[in-house]
Structures are given as structure tokens and as C-alpha cells.
Amino acid sequence: MPRPKESFEDIFPCEFYTPEELLDPDQMYTIREIARLLQGLDPDADIDEDTEAVIVDWAVPWVMLNADDLVIGEPPTEDAPGYYGLRTDDGSE
């Protein structure tokens, strides 16, 4: 159900990190790790499954929105997650 803006004590701008602000150019990250970074956490932070599910839901659209600035690394095994990294000036790794 919608709520009036005045019912909130604080309202903040909806701003997200750019890939350059978020990712180390020499590293590749899973969606789960990107989700943690978007929340200001360490990529290997221990969080509960429910929280992880919510932040991953935010990370997937972020990756899609920023796809032009990212590269994808093939998963090391069939059942492993994919890895994403920052695209460099030459358009690759």
C-alpha cells in the first residue's frame, strides 16, 4: 500500500555506485559479492540467507544496467557462479 511522503522521518536520494566506484579493476566478482559491495559490506561478509536474497535482487538489475562497463568471466566449473569485472579502456579485461 502506498504511503504519503510525510509519513517518513527521512527520505534520501536513490543513488547507486558506478562500476568504477564499486569494483577493483584487477578483480572479478560474483553477483553475491557485488550485492555485498553495493551495501557497503566486504565481498566476503557473512550475512544470513534472507538478507542475501534481498540484496542479490538489487544487484542483478545493477549489473544489467551497467553491462556496458562490465566484462564477464566464464565460470570455472559448470555449477559455479559467473564472475563480473570492470571493463578497461581497451574494452576487455
User: Which pLDDT does position 92 carry in this prediction?
Assistant: 55
Instruction: Tell me what the mean pLDDT of segment 56-70 comes to.
Output: 96
Distance from C-alpha of 76 to C-alpha of 70, rounded to nearest angstrom = 18
User: Which pLDDT does position 76 carry in this prediction?
Assistant: 87
Band (pLDDT 50/70/90 cuts) for residue 90 is low
Instruction: Tell me what the mean pLDDT of segment 4-31 comes to.
Output: 94
Distance from C-alpha of 2 to C-alpha of 79, rounded to nearest angstrom = 40
User: Which pLDDT does position 89 carry in this prediction?
Assistant: 75
User: Which pLDDT does position 15 carry in this prediction?
Assistant: 86
Instruction: Tell me what the mean pLDDT of segment 27-35 comes to.
Output: 96
